[in-house]
Amino acid sequence: MTRLALVTGGNRGLGLEIAKGLAAQGYKVLLGCRNLEQGNQAASNIAGDVEAVHLDLSNSNILRNQIKEILSTYPKIDVLINNAAILIRDEIFDIDEEDFYATMQINLNAAFDLIQLITPTMIKQNYGRIVNITSDFGSFKDGLLGPVSYSVSKAALNALTMNVARTLPDTVKINSVHPGWLKTDMGGLDAPLSIIEGAETPIWLATLEDDGPTGLFFHQKELKQW
């Protein structure tokens, strides 16, 4: 049986590398992207069964309708990777309120929308894997040291992981992952880790065995404190 995975922000960077890795393992992959033309181009360059789908994470009303449309075509999504995010490098007294709200929408609210609409089918089919791409900037243990909107949104996404995990059956697993500081458009060229290295743990969590962990936070396949 071919598993179906939906990856948000799948047309570039970490999302694209995760999509490549899942496709290489025989998954059918849906590349969620805001620009469908760019998504189609990215999908055409991946070996395997990969299709771009339009997802606008900036507006929940639009997004929820898009999710329902995807589910009407692909009712059994087995894996959800909440990868798409924005990073605005302003602190509390510098950031415009619109930028703060937009960050919360894309980094947190959209993940909530996707989880709420897709998870019921996972429960019904007794299988599901949800991976929330977060950050050490969202870790209370590490001091929430990132820019205000990014840190708060990622801390909240971690909280969503913990809360949702306690309501799901063990057959549907949800985990957070800090992929590390990566050489992406967001991370820059000075980052110490490659995109391939960053994708290893999300792919592992997306393909967990039945006895795998749930409701936890990982970095490089090791437990990380919230």
Which of the residues are catalytic? 150
d(CA 151, CA 137): 5
What whole-number distance in Å separates Cα of residue 87 and Cα of residue 133? 13
**Spatial separation of the C-alpha atoms in residues 5 and 175, rounded to whole Å:** 15
Written in H, E and C, the secondary structure of 58-116 is CCHHHHHHHHHHHHHHCCCCCEEEECCCCCCCCCCCCCCHHHHHHHHHHHHHHHHHHHH
Secondary structure string (H, E, C) spanning 36-58: HHHHHHHHHCCCCCEEEEECCCC
Distance of alpha carbon 43 from alpha carbon 16, whole angstroms: 9
**Which structure tokens are listed for 174?**
């949800």
Residues facing 180 on adjacent strands: none
Q: What is the CA radius of gyration of the chain?
A: 16
Enter the tokens of residue 99. Answer: 């930028």
